[in-house]
Amino acid sequence: MPTAPTRRQRRETLNLRIRPEERGLIDQAARAVGKNRTDFVLEAARKAAEAALLDQVLFTVDATTFSKFQAMLDAPAQSNNLLRKTLRTPGPWERA
């Protein structure tokens, strides 16, 4: 069943001044992952922007909840057999 044509969203220009060696590195990396320079840089910048904003998230809780949270942090670590097994299992790069 044919779908209605979609309108392309207008894109704006972002100009950057960049050293030739940085541009070459970006171009090489973009080619390595099969992307053009614009898509590669835009994806990297978007990920960095999201990470920066997520780092700014603030959680507020009441005093009782915060006290419980602090008590959990201060409590001695509990034995965790699954974590122990995971840490003892060689990574795929360690297997021959």
Contacts of 23 (CB under 8 A, 6+ apart): 37
Distance from C-alpha of 30 to C-alpha of 47, rounded to nearest angstrom: 15
The answer to whether residue 89 sits within a structural domain is no
DSSP assignment, residue 89?
S
Q: Report yes or no on 12 lying in a domain.
A: no
Burial of 35: CB neighbours in 10 Å, binned 0-12, 13-18, 19+:
middle
Q: What is the pLDDT of residues 71-82, one digit of tens each?
A: 999 999 888 999
For the segment 2-48, what is each residue's pLDDT rounded down to a tens digit? 566 667 788 899 999 999 999 999 999 999 999 999 999 999 999 99
pLDDT higher than 90, residue 68? yes
Domain assignment present for 94: no
Question: Which residue is it, tokens 């053009």?
Answer: 36
Q: What is the pLDDT of residue 9?
A: 82
Alpha carbons 14 and 42: distance in angstroms, whole number: 10
The domain in which residue 54 lies consists of 20-73
> What pLDDT, on the 0 to 100 scale, is given for residue 26?
97
